[in-house]
Amino acid sequence: MGGFVVLLFIIELVNTLTFHGLNRTFGLRPRTPDGILDIVTFPLLHANLGHLLSNALPLMVFGFLAFLSGLRVFLTALASSWLGSGLAVWFFGSGGVTVGASGLVFGLFAFLLVRGFVNRSWWQILLSVVLFLAYGSILFGVLPSVTGAVSWQAHLGGAVGGFLAAILLRPRLKHPRQGELAS
């Protein structure tokens, strides 16, 4: 996750040097045909350094905690959050260009909050409680905002993606084969 955040800072440096021209080219534009491709790029871009800094620490914390469950779990949670965030902005965005990794933050956070309950793991539930107490107030970011500066659609879509990843990654119940008794 640290490498990903370093990549985001490198991209922000290039973006700043080009007067945020990357945002105009690769930021997500809702309901446009080429906006579909921007779903891949918009979390890599930020409005400014302050915007990136506000996403960097939670990305590192939540990404690290998700990665502790393994690369497959981490990549599934990240991809689901990325896709959920992008689709929500593309379908429901209010116009303009959307950039930022906050949808990933919300997705990884939702994944970490839900997975303990889905997995019935007491230590993951304990982690959920600790994370909720420390970061729970960010959940207000999924509510429609009066200001157009915050994409609540990206936040909500990312959170839904994280929730779906937790469901998708839940342990499968073993069913006995025909003729075997379940113990």
Q: Which residues are catalytic?
A: 102, 155
CA–CA distance, 22 with 2 (Å, rounded to integer): 22
Hey, which residues does 53 pair with through a beta bridge? Answer: none
Return the structure tokens found at 146: 């009066």
Smallest CA-to-CA distance from 98 within 173, 46, 160, 134 is with 46
Q: Are 108 and 166 in contact (CB under 8 A)?
A: no
Distances 30 to 3, 24, 120, 174 between C-alpha atoms, Å: 29, 13, 38, 43
Q: Are 63 and 108 in contact (CB under 8 A)?
A: yes
Q: Are 74 and 128 in contact (CB under 8 A)?
A: no
CA–CA distance, 166 with 160 (Å, rounded to integer): 10
- Which DSSP helix (H) or strand (E) runs through 151? none
Return the structure tokens found at 160: 């839904």
